[in-house]
Amino acid sequence: MKLSHVVLALSLALGAGSAAAQNAPPPNPANPSATRPAPVAAQASGNLARYIVGPGGRVRGFALNNGTVVMLPFRAGGDFAQRVAVGVPVRVEGFSMPGAASPVIFRVTVRGADGAVLAARFASIPQQSVRGTVQQVIAGPRGGVPTLLLNNNVTVFVPHEMTAQVTPRGIRVGESVQVVGRGTATPQGTGVLAEQITFADGTRFAAALAAPAALPAR
């Protein structure tokens, strides 16, 4: 083959490759759920500087005088705002997302200067103890085991704090479990956020949903 033919062939090949690269769709971004960091324990203290009110008028949380934002448990804001005035010193324990641009604490237990609990996760939800057989396992986006459907119309939600413990063992359909946690029974079924799961073989997993002093005696 003549040199001119070789040069022409290489030019055509490079041109086609360049055009394909320009016309190719951009690479898909990574799945956020696969790289999203897990929440970490967080604490903060300071004076309540202002309340955060949602568009429907519900108190969603508050900001401390050091800039930390505290998101209150669902439906706890109204009662909390009636009892705790702006300027009162508080201490907060909960979780935050690492690397966040501004400090936001959620899943909180809020205490006053004297240590008394002012608000806590799930404190208003009654304790539930249920038994049943696993009918279906609903895995989360990252392969964890966040939800179990039992044969007696009970739905068990496995919190993040417990998922990492339970997932390596695995949960099989047909297994008998006993669940202790916080939940509500309705005509449509019972929902329980697990604090403890015990299997028929004696394996037990537990995770505190809030500081022990933040919840009523069980």
Rounded Cα distance between 122 and 76, Å, is 10
Position 200 scores a pLDDT of 93
Tokens of 101: 């641009």
Residue limits of CATH 2.40.50.140 in the chain: 127-214
Position 213 scores a pLDDT of 34
Position 16 scores a pLDDT of 45
What would the CATH number be for the domain defined by 127-214?
A: 2.40.50.140
- The CATH architecture annotation of domain 35-120 reads Beta Barrel (2.40)
User: Alpha helices of 119-185 — where are they, by DSSP H?
Assistant: 160-169
List 171's β-bridge partners, or say none.
none
Position 124 scores a pLDDT of 63
Mean pLDDT split into 10-residue runs, the chain, 218 residues: 46 46 47 61 94 90 94 84 94 88 87 87 78 91 82 91 86 94 87 92 79 34
Position 73 scores a pLDDT of 81
Rounded Cα distance between 147 and 143, Å, is 11
pTM score of the predicted model: 0.52
Question: What is the β-pairing status of strands 104-112 and 69-71?
Answer: parallel
Please list, in sequence order, all residues whose beta carbon lies within 8 angstroms of the beta carbon of residue 162, skipping any fewer than 6 positions away.
194, 197, 205, 206, 207
Position 102 scores a pLDDT of 78
Do residues 92 and 44 make contact, with C-beta atoms less than 8 angstroms apart? yes
Sheet strands (E) in the chain: 40-53, 59-64, 69-71, 89-96, 104-112, 117-120, 127-138, 147-150, 154-157, 176-186, 189-199, 204-206
Position 161 scores a pLDDT of 75
Decide: helix, strand or coil at residue 182.
strand
> If you search the block for the tokens 């609990």, which residue do you land on?
117
Position 123 scores a pLDDT of 64
